[in-house]
Amino acid sequence: MRGSTLTAAVDALDPELDDERIVDLTTNWLYANPLLYTLTYTLVFLRQASVPGIAEILDRDGRGPTVRSPHVRNVATMSCFGIWFRHGYRSARGQQAIDRVNAVHARFPINQDQYRYVLATQIFEPERLLTLVGAQPLTATENQARFVFWRNLGQRLGIGGIPATFDGFRAWMIDYERENCRYTFAAGRIATALRGEWVHNHLPAPLRPLGRSTLDALVDPDLGVSLGISPPHVAVRWFVHSAVRGYLRLLTEYTPSARRYTTGFGPARAAVSP
């Protein structure tokens, strides 16, 4: 079915009861472009690094895998996401991925507020990106299903105190960012590593001359300050925003032929690590 028909089918489902099905249909079918998802994932990761406590755990004075081997680290994490998106968090494979992530996270001093913030970015950053580029927002059903999916998965990951509603969690996230996000040397190193990984491993060859500016054009000004990223030239920003907006518009007419998300990343090649 066409993208617009698929969206209508998603909106006919119950986001509370069908959250896994909706996330499967949207992530693995409707928006199933590995490049687009990698771009979104990288922006989510950059957002998390703007919190000093999280950045310190990831950076470890420049010795963390996020800085030294960002591609290996990213593939491992995205492969876990691929399992959850395709098979669901309730499945046996989903539970195995949860156990693996919990075992790794147990080795680090991550507090509950930091866990909640990382979870919040997974829910709300895609909508914030759509707003930044002026694209059509996700439907209410898609937004609520994403919230329910990540809330339930977060609880299985041992995250407590997750606000009970979509609006409540978003308000909590905004307050947390206002109180915590700021530039640190660790955040700057992480931003440099992730932007370099994007250019060298994912950016299509015709766009490589633009380098990191293609990603920087999708970093909002406040986040850029927290990461030490200067805004790119206005022409680059216009081009990137227009390209993303145009591609998303084409998805309404596009007919997906098969699930494609996990094929873009393959099996995890390393243990997930903060």
**260 within some domain:** yes
Region of 259 on the Ramachandran plot (φ > 0 left; ψ -120 to 50 alpha; else beta): beta
d(CA 197, CA 181) in angstroms, rounded, equals: 23
Burial 127-147 (b: 16+ CB within 10 A, else e): bbbbebbebeebbebbbbbbb
Whole-number pLDDT of residue 273: 43
Q: Tokens for 82?
A: 């691929």
Q: Tokens for 268?
A: 């995890």
Percent of the chain residues past pLDDT 70, beyond the cut: 92
Give 162-219 pLDDT, tens digit per residue: 999 999 999 999 999 999 999 999 999 999 999 999 998 888 787 778 888 999 999 9
Amino acid identity of residue 147, one-letter, is F
**269 within some domain:** no
**SS3 state at 32:** coil
Phi and psi at 137, nearest 5°, equal -70, 165
Q: Which domain holds residue 11?
A: 3-264
Q: Tokens for 76?
A: 């491992």
The least confident of 108-112, 246-250, 251-255 is 251-255
**19 within some domain:** yes
**270 within some domain:** no
d(CA 248, CA 167) in angstroms, rounded, equals: 25
The Cα-based distances of 64 to 67, 69, 108 in angstroms read 6, 8, 12
**SS3 state at 29:** helix
Phi and psi at 150, nearest 5°, equal -75, -30
d(CA 183, CA 49) in angstroms, rounded, equals: 9
What is the model's pTM?
Answer: 0.91
Provide the domain count of the chain.
1
Contact 116, 162 (CB under 8 A): yes
**190 within some domain:** yes
**271 within some domain:** no
**272 within some domain:** no
Phi and psi at 124, nearest 5°, equal -100, -20
Give 54-70 pLDDT, tens digit per residue: 999 999 999 999 999 99
